[in-house]
A and B are shown apart, each in its own frame.
Chain A
């Protein structure tokens, strides 16, 4: 099983709202990732968690706050977003960071900020 699940599938939020995106994997992977993807563009890395610790933050604005409660779960807390933050948010996982490479993606959350 190479399944990564994400909820919700779609989310519409105002600029003053607080919401959270959730991601779960049960493959025993120890690395988890958040990506942002705009239409017709490749995924753009936001955060990497390795063994439940944040290892990479690609200079993401503080209105995005990641959290890794345990090895199977990854959250992305959203607050005071801007319309330009509307995008498909993808979660991914891999056995570990580094040369293993194989990342498995979830179906994504389509976020619209109004």
Chain B
């Protein structure tokens, strides 16, 4: 099936630092979604992107839909301890198809 390459797999950062993660694919996507998942909980939708080149912010989070439609990135500015968790990208291919998930980026924040 389709795959999304999400990187990095894990990150250890100091509180206050900025974070960047991305997802790439060899296929063109119509929609990019970014989720955060805390342990034992369901993924929470952070940002949804629908147009190539679109840049969208949600508080300290900013995500972009790549121009080629094959990638997306998520930035977190001035990280805080509650940013800890697993971040998943998900993309939707053209047509009536299920979401494709990346393998996740595990973020740890050191106070």
Residues of A within 8 A of B95 (CB): 98-99
Are the CB atoms of A105 and B42 closer together than 8 Å? yes
Are the CB atoms of A43 and B43 closer together than 8 Å? yes
Question: Counting CB contacts under 8 A, is B40 at the interface?
Answer: yes
Question: Counting CB contacts under 8 A, is B48 at the interface?
Answer: yes
Residues of A within 8 A of B104 (CB): 40-42
Instruction: List which B11-63 residues lie within 8 A (CB) of chain A.
Output: 30-31, 33, 35, 40-45, 48, 50
Residues of B within 8 A of A40 (CB): 86, 104, 106
Question: Counting CB contacts under 8 A, is A75 at the interface?
Answer: no
Give the interface size bracket for B toward A. 20 to 34
- Contacting A56 at CB < 8 Å: which of B42, B50, B98, B102? B98
Are the CB atoms of B41 and A107 closer together than 8 Å? yes
Give the interface size bracket for A toward B. 20 to 34
23 A-B pairs, CB-CB below 8 angstroms? A40-B86, A41-B103, A42-B101, A42-B102, A42-B103, A56-B98, A88-B40, A90-B42, A92-B42, A98-B96, A99-B96, A100-B31, A101-B30, A101-B50, A101-B99, A102-B31, A102-B33, A103-B99, A105-B35, A105-B43, A105-B45, A107-B42, A108-B40
Query: Which residues of B are in contact with A by a Cβ distance under 8 Å?
Result: 30-31, 33, 35, 40-45, 48, 50, 86, 88, 90, 92, 94-96, 98-99, 101-104, 106
